[in-house]
C-alpha cells in the first residue's frame, strides 16, 4: 500500500460508487468529464485499495511502454479481469512467468502461420455476409460476434465441425452475455463473490463453471491423443510448446490462455468491426474512397489499412493500459507512490487535438504519408513488452471482413446521429449494436 498522505493528481469530487457507476454506465462521457474537471492527470479510487491515475499524456505512455517491467506490473494492473480469464492468463502475469507464457504463445501469431488463417477468415466472412438481411435495418454487432467467434474457434481449436464449435462456443457466449450490458457489469461489480439465489455473480460463476468444464474436457482429450501436438491450430501448438527448461503448460495454464485467446480474440475484434461499419455509414466520403480502392484492378490496401487504424483511434475497443507501480515513479511532475496504478487512457490520448487535429472527425488520411501518428500516440493494442499478441491477427481479420462485405453490399445509415458508446464486458461497444441497412454492391 502507499502512504495515505501521498500527493496524487486531483480527484473528481465523487464517491466510490459514483466513480464505478460512471465508468461502467457512461464510460466515455465520464472520462471526458473527469479530464475537464482535473486536467491531463486525474485520480480515481473506484474500490477500496485500488487507486488509478488516469492520463492522456504521450510522455507518460512512452514511460510506461519503455519502463522497467519489474517496476510497472501489467498483470497486477489487470487484476479485475481475473474472474473472466483466470489467474494464469498472460494478461494477469508479471515478471518471469509473464515472459515464459508470452514466449509459449507467440509462435502461432507470427508471420506465415498467422497469414495462413486468411482463407478461413475469407470463407467465414463471405458466408455470414451472404446471410445478412437486405430488406430491413439490423444491428451488425451480433453477426460480427458470430464471425469472429467462428474464426477464433477454427484457428485456436481447429474445429471444422459446426457442432463441435457450438458445443464450446455456446457456453462461452453465455459467460460473455453475463457481462453483456452496462447494468449487468455494474450488478456483477456490486455482488462480486456473493452466492445468494438471486445473485448476478452466482449466475456468472455458474456459466463460467460450465465453460470451464468443457475446456478442461477438451484439454484432457487432446492430451490423450498421441497425434494432437502435430496439428496446425493454436491449441495443438500450445500443447507442443516447451519453455527453455523443457516444461509445457499445465492444465490450468492452458485453460486460462485458451479463455484469454477466445475472449480477447473474439469480442474485441467483433466490436472493432461493428465500429468500422458504424463510422463508414456516417462518413460517405470515406466509404466511397474505400470502395474505389477495392474496385481498382491493382487494388492495394493502404486506404483499407488506414480505415481500420482510424476506427481503432476514434473508437478504441478497450479504455486504457494499466500498470501497478512496484516502486515510486514520477509522471508529469507527479511523484506517484508504489501501489498506485498508472493508466494511460487510450480513449483520451486518441482525442488529443495537438496530436489529431479535429479529433472527432473520421479521417483515415491521418494514417497515410510521412506524418502518421507515432508509436506512443496510437495505442489500441498497448505497447512495449505487453503489446497485444493478437494485434496482427485482429488487423488482418478486420480487413478480411471489410473486403468480403464491400464486395457484395453497400451499408447505409439508419439514422443521421452516430451511436454512442456503451460498456460490454471489457469493451466499449456501439450503443445500438451498429445498425445498418444494406444495398447491393452495384447500387449508387
Q: Is residue 200 part of a domain?
A: yes
pLDDT digits (tens, 9 = 90+) for 76-93: 888 888 888 899 999 999
Average pLDDT, stretch 103-110?
82
Q: What is the dihedral of CA 291, 294, 296, 302, to 10 degrees?
A: 110
pLDDT band at 216; cut points 50, 70, 90:
very high
pLDDT exceeds cutoff 70 at 19: yes
| SS3 at position 230 | helix
| DSSP symbols for 235-268 | HHHHHH---TTS----HHHHHHHHHHHHHHTTHH
| SS3 at position 134 | coil
Among residues 312, 293, 315, 309, which one has the least CA distance to residue 368?
Answer: 309
pLDDT value of residue 4: 45
pLDDT band at 2; cut points 50, 70, 90:
very low
Q: Is residue 430 part of a domain?
A: no
pLDDT digits (tens, 9 = 90+) for 45-60: 988 888 999 999 999 9
pLDDT value of residue 443: 58
Q: What angle do CA 273, 398, 370 make, to 5 degrees?
A: 110
Average pLDDT, stretch 422-433?
86
Distance of CA 31 to the CA centre of its chain: 18
pLDDT band at 42; cut points 50, 70, 90:
very high
The domain of 191 spans 16-419
Hey, what's the cell of 54?
488516469
**Residue 85's CATH number:** 1.10.630.10
Q: Is residue 439 part of a domain?
A: no
Q: Is residue 145 part of a domain?
A: yes
pLDDT exceeds cutoff 80 at 112: no
| DSSP symbols for 423-434 | EETTEEEETT--
pLDDT band at 41; cut points 50, 70, 90:
very high
Q: Is residue 8 part of a domain?
A: no
Task: Give 183-189 contacts, CB < 8 A, sequence gap 24+.
Answer: 183/25, 185/24, 185/423, 185/424, 185/425, 186/20, 186/21, 186/24, 186/25, 189/20, 189/24
pLDDT value of residue 68: 95
Average pLDDT, stretch 117-140?
92
pLDDT exceeds cutoff 80 at 230: no
In total, how many domains does the chain have?
1
| DSSP symbols for 360-402 | TS--GGGGSSTT---TTT--TT--GGGS-TTHHHHHHHHHHHH
Alpha-carbon distance of 312 to 272, in angstroms, equals 7
| Percent of the chain surpassing pLDDT 70 | 95
pLDDT exceeds cutoff 60 at 3: no
Q: Is residue 443 part of a domain?
A: no
Amino acid at each position: 500500500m502507499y502512504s495515505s498522505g501521498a500527493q496524487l493528481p486531483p480527484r473528481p469530487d465523487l464517491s466510490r460508487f459514483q466513480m464505478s457507476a460512471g465508468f461502467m454506465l457512461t464510460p466515455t462521457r465520464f472520462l471526458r468529464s473527469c479530464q475537464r474537471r482535473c486536467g491531463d492527470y486525474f485520480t480515481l479510487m473506484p474500490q477500496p485499495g485500488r487507486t488509478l491515475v488516469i492520463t492522456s499524456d504521450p510522455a507518460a505512455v512512452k514511460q510506461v511502454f519503455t519502463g522497467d517491467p519489474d517496476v510497472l506490473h501489467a498483470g497486477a494492473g489487470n487484476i479485475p479481469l481475473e474472474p473472466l480469464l483466470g489467474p494464469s492468463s498472460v494478461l494477469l502475469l508479471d515478471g518471469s512467468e509473464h515472459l515464459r507464457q508470452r514466449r509459449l504463445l507467440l509462435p502461432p501469431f507470427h508471420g506465415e502461420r498467422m497469414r495462413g488463417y486468411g482463407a478461413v477468415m475469407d470463407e467465414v466472412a463471405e458466408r455470414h455476409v451472404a446471410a445478412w438481411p437486405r430488406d430491413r435495418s439490423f444491428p451488425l454487432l451480433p453477426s460480427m460476434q458470430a464471425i469472429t467467434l467462428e474464426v477464433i474457434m477454427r484457428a485456436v481449436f481447429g474445429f471444422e465441425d459446426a457442432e463441435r464449435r457450438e458445443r464450446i462456443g455456446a457456453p462461452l457466449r453465455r459467460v460473455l452475455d453475463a457481462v453483456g450490458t452496462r447494468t449487468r457489469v455494474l450488478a456483477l461489480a456490486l455482488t462480486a463473490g456473493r452466492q445468494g439465489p438471486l445473485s448476478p455473480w452466482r449466475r456468472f460463476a455458474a456459466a463460467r463453471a460450465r465453460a470451464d468444464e468443457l475446456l478442461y474436457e477438451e484439454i484432457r482429450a487432446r492430451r490423450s491423443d498421441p497425434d494432437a501436438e502435430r496439428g496446425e491450430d493454436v491449441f495443438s501448438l500450445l500443447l507442443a510448446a516447451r519453455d527453455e527448461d523443457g516444461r509445457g503448460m499445465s492444465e490450468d495454464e492452458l485453460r486460462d490462455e485458451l479463455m484469454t485467446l477466445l475472449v480477447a480474440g473474439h469480442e474485441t475484434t467483433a466490436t472493432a468491426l461493428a465500429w468500422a461499419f458504424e463510422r463508414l455509414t456516417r462518413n460517405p466520403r470515406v466509404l466511397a474512397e474505400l470502395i474505389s480502392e477495392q474496385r481498382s484492378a491493382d487494388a492495394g490496401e493502404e486506404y483499407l489499412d488506414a480505415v481500420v487504424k482510424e476506427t481503432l483511434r476514434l473508437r478504441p475497443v478497450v479504455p486504457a493500459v494499466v500498470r501497478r507501480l512496484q516502486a515510486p515513479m514520477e509522471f508529469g511532475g507527479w511523484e506517484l507512490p508504489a501501489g498506485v496504478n498508472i493508466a494511460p487512457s487510450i480513449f483520451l490520448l486518441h482525442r488529443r487535438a495537438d496530436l489529431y487535429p479535429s479529433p472527432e472527425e473520421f479521417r483515415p488520411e491521418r494514417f497515410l504519408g510521412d506524418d502518421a501518428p507515432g508509436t506512443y500516440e496510437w495505442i489500441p493494442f498497448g505497447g512495449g513488452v505487453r503489446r497485444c499478441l493478437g494485434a496482427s491477427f485482429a488487423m488482418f481479420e478486420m480487413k478480411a471482413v471489410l473486403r468480403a462485405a464491400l464486395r457484395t453490399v453497400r451499408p447505409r445509415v439508419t439514422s443521421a446521429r452516430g451511436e454512442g458508446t456503451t460498456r460490454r464486458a471489457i469493451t466499449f461497444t456501439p450503443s445500438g449494436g451498429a445498425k445498418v441497412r444494406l444495398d447491393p454492391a452495384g447500387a449508387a
